[in-house]
């Protein structure tokens, strides 16, 4: 579900508390996301603007984002014209999904210039447009050339034409009554269908329209519903859905609701479609395994080939002509055995051919068994990778991409290559009561925290018999609180995160063994103990907020 004009109205009221402010930094997180660092009231804040067709929004974020190595041309233009600019004011255009920023900046000669930045949050038409004081478009995140829209051209040098306001709709905060026989989306500015349904439902239950609008006017929270499977949310409780709601502050709720969804878009933009690659390779390995198992089964017929060869040599004197098949008595019980032959060859040559099949099958039993073992390891690897891809961030995805490049599953990009120093992997680092906990989210991180970051006496945890993260407690012993938190992370960042009572094994690092030529992150363990835990997403997020070392 996208935000409507009423939700944007509440967001803008809170953002106006930061005005005026100075733009100190501009970053482009993805093709549709721009991050402004603004300074107001002696503190810095990060303003996220997204023009994604499904997830468009504007809000303050506390998250840290990875940015592409090479900035886009629009980002360079923003840095040129409004880096260091003062945002004097921001306002919503009526209750439409348009936010207008009034900017004051100085040119190279120090002359003051006034500009406007229009943030339009209207589904697939969402855009960020920079307009100069002559009301001409300097540039936009998404250009609209004349051949696409002759009425409203969004292109450098074009005269800016605002979005047509809803002149036939009234402001819901000032009107006293509405027509209950008509959808409120057709009567009122800023109303989405889900809000219209909720207000109509409440009015049917006897509530007054004015009182409902007062609740909306003074709300600062978001009520969201995962159970509806449609990601419904609004700033008042949606009682007509019949589900229990979860409640959160509007700014943090916008941050949490959209971050994971757009993170997959960022991963695809910056590191390629790792999900697709992993699924393709897994499918390929499973198909290969089925064929290898059939080949191995055929190879076990070698006794039959030897028997056919022996019989043909023994009775070769009886056949003077070439034929398609012969029937000969078995040496063991005298039963008749039908032996297919190659008409182009005589009996002895056919016997030799059966002996060749016998020798080939003997070799195949050994070699195919090796290939089956390798293929099974590949299946395990990509199944594990798909689990890791469910909860990674861009930095983790880039590490996985490098891993797949080293294994020759992905070709290395030659364009836009920038050499970087090798950094420490992007694992999760928590500190609880002065005890460090490390959580790996991919094979590189798992291997690093287990064999490089940790010591032999440290505690190591992993969900039992399923794919998941390595978790290390940097201590020889841990109290119940620390141990259960570490187990919670091991269970959550695993294939069992949606289950209850997930078994988690733990032991000291010195009890681990890494087999020769084993895949990255693969270990065996001895002398372990097991604890059962229920993974809870809300608890994980609270632990990250409370204990994570940035």
Q: Does residue 473 carry a pLDDT above 90?
A: yes
Q: Report the candidate in 395, 493, 370, 448 with the shortest Cα–Cα distance to residue 64.
A: 395
DSSP, res 464: T
Query: What average pLDDT does this structure show over 25-31?
Result: 92
Own/partner pairs, 413-418, CB within 8 angstroms, 24+ separation:
416/69, 416/70, 418/69, 418/70
Tokens of 275: 């999900």
How many whole angstroms separate alpha carbon 498 and alpha carbon 151? 50
**CB atoms near residue 482 (< 10 Å):** 19
Among left, alpha and beta (phi > 0; psi -120 to 50; other), residue 228 is alpha
Band (pLDDT 50/70/90 cuts) for residue 227 is low
- HEC-encoded secondary structure of 339-368: EECCCCCCHHHHHHHHHHHHHHHHHHHHHH
Predicted pLDDT at 418: 47
Predicted pLDDT at 230: 67
In a 13 Å sphere around the CA of 204, the CA atoms on its Cβ side amount to 10
In a 13 Å sphere around the CA of 223, the CA atoms on its Cβ side amount to 18
Predicted pLDDT at 54: 87
The more confidently predicted of residues 420 and 182 is 182
Domains of the chain: 5-140 (2.30.310.10), 184-268 (no CATH), 278-388 (no CATH), 428-547 (no CATH)
Report in angstroms the alpha-carbon separations of 69 from 29, 30, 438, 442: 10, 11, 27, 22
% of the chain surpassing 70 pLDDT: 96
Predicted pLDDT at 167: 66
In order, the DSSP letters of 416-462 are: T----PPPPP--EEEEETTEEEEE-SSHHHHHHIIIIIS-TTSEEEE
Tokens of 76: 């360079």
Peptide bond into 429 cis (omega under 30): no
Query: What average pLDDT does this structure show over 205-223?
Result: 93
Is residue 246 within 8 Å of residue 223, measured between CB atoms?
A: yes
Burial of 306 (0-12, 13-18, 19+ CB in 10 A): middle
Band (pLDDT 50/70/90 cuts) for residue 289 is very high
Band (pLDDT 50/70/90 cuts) for residue 422 is low
Predicted pLDDT at 286: 95
Q: Does residue 390 carry a pLDDT above 70?
A: yes
Is residue 26 within 8 Å of residue 82, measured between CB atoms?
A: yes
Average pLDDT value for the chain? 89
% of the chain surpassing 90 pLDDT: 52
Please report which helix (H) or strand (E) contains residue 128, including its range. Answer: strand 127-131
Please report which helix (H) or strand (E) contains residue 74, including its range. Answer: helix 73-82
Q: Which of 231-240, 445-454, 477-486, 514-523 is least confident?
A: 514-523
How many whole angstroms separate alpha carbon 330 and alpha carbon 338? 10
- CA dihedral over 355, 360, 366, 372, signed as positive or negative: negative
Helices (H), 127-192: none
How many whole angstroms separate alpha carbon 391 and alpha carbon 117? 34
Which among 164-168, 360-364, 424-428 has the top mean pLDDT? 424-428
How many whole angstroms separate alpha carbon 225 and alpha carbon 1? 11
Burial of 22 (0-12, 13-18, 19+ CB in 10 A): middle
Predicted pLDDT at 417: 44
**CB atoms near residue 342 (< 10 Å):** 12
Strand-pair partners of 462: 505
The more confidently predicted of residues 346 and 460 is 460
Query: What average pLDDT does this structure show over 345-374?
Result: 87
Q: Report the candidate in 14, 45, 15, 48 with the shortest Cα–Cα distance to residue 220.
A: 14
How many whole angstroms separate alpha carbon 483 and alpha carbon 477? 9
How many whole angstroms separate alpha carbon 316 and alpha carbon 348? 7
Pairing of strands 246-249, 221-225: antiparallel
Is residue 459 within 8 Å of residue 508, measured between CB atoms?
A: yes
Predicted pLDDT at 414: 55
Burial of 525 (0-12, 13-18, 19+ CB in 10 A): middle
In order, the DSSP letters of 402-426 are: HHHHHTTSSPPP-TT----PPPPP-
Q: Does residue 149 carry a pLDDT above 90?
A: no
Angle at 53 between CA 48 and CA 58, to 5 degrees: 20
Pairing of strands 512-513, 524-525: antiparallel
SS3 for 505?
Answer: strand
Per the listing, tokens 């733990």 go with 506
How many whole angstroms separate alpha carbon 206 and alpha carbon 200? 10
The more confidently predicted of residues 419 and 403 is 403
Residue 547 CA, chain-centre distance (Å), reads 23
- CA dihedral over 347, 352, 358, 364, signed as positive or negative: negative
Query: What average pLDDT does this structure show over 83-93?
Result: 95
Rounded to a whole number, what is the largest CA-CA distance in the chain? 111
């Amino acid at each position: 579900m996208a935000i409507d004009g009423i939700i944007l109205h509440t967001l803008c009221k809170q953002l106006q508390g930061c005005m005026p402010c100075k733009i100190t930094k501009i970053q482009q997180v993805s093709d549709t996301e721009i991050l402004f660092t603004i300074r107001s009231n002696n503190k810095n804040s990060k303003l996220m603007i997204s023009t994604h067709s499904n997830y468009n929004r504007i809000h303050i974020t506390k998250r840290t984002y990875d940015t592409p190595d090479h900035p886009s041309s629009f980002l360079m233009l923003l840095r040129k014209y409004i880096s260091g600019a003062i945002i004097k004011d921001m306002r919503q255009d009526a209750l439409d999904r348009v936010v207008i920023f009034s900017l004051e900046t100085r040119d190279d000669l120090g002359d003051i210039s006034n500009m406007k930045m229009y943030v339009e949050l209207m589904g697939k038409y969402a855009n960020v447009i920079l307009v100069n004081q002559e009301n001409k478009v300097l540039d936009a995140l998404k250009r609209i050339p004349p051949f696409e829209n002759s009425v409203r051209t969004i292109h450098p040098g074009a005269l800016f034409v605002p979005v047509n306001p809803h002149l036939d709709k009234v402001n819901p905060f000032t009107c006293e009554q509405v027509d209950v026989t008509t959808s409120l989306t057709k009567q009122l500015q800023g109303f989405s269908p889900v809000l219209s349904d909720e207000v109509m439902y409440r009015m049917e239950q006897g509530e007054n329209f004015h009182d409902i609008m007062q609740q909306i006017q003074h709300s600062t929270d978001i009520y969201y519903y995962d159970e509806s499977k449609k990601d419904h949310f609004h700033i008042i409780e949606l009682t007509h859905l019949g589900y229990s709601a979860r409640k959160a502050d509007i700014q943090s709720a916008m941050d949490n609701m959209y971050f994971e969804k757009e993170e997959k878009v960022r991963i695809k933009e910056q590191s390629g479609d790792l999900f697709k690659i992993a699924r393709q390779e897994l499918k390929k390995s499973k198909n290969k395994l089925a064929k290898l198992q059939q080949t191995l089964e055929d190879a076990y017929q070698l006794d039959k080939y030897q028997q056919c060869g022996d019989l043909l040599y023994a009775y070769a004197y009886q056949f003077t002509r070439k034929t398609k098949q012969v029937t000969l008595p078995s040496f063991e019980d005298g039963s008749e055995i039908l032996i297919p032959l190659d008409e182009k060859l005589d009996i002895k040559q056919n016997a030799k051919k059966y002996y060749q099949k016998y020798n080939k099958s003997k070799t195949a039993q050994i070699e195919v068994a090796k290939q089956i073992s390798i293929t099974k390891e590949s299946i395990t690897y990509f199944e594990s990778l798909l689990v890791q891809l469910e909860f990674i961030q861009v930095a983790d995805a880039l590490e996985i991409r490098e891993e797949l490049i080293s294994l020759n599953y992905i070709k290395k990009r030659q364009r836009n290559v920038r050499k970087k120093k090798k950094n420490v992997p992007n694992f999760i680092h928590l500190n609880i009561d002065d005890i460090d906990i490390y959580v790996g989210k991919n094979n590189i991180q798992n291997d690093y925290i287990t064999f490089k970051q940790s010591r032999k006496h440290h505690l190591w945890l992993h969900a039992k018999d399923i794919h998941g993260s390595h978790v290390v407690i940097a201590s020889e012993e841990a109290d119940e609180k620390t141990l259960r938190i570490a187990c919670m992370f091991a269970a959550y960042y695993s294939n069992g995160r949606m289950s209850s009572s997930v078994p988690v094994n733990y032991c000291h690092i010195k009890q681990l063994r890494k087999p020769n030529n084993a895949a990255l992150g693969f270990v065996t363990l001895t002398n372990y103990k097991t604890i059962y835990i229920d993974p809870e997403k809300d608890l994980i997020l609270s632990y990250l907020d409370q204990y994570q070392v940035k």
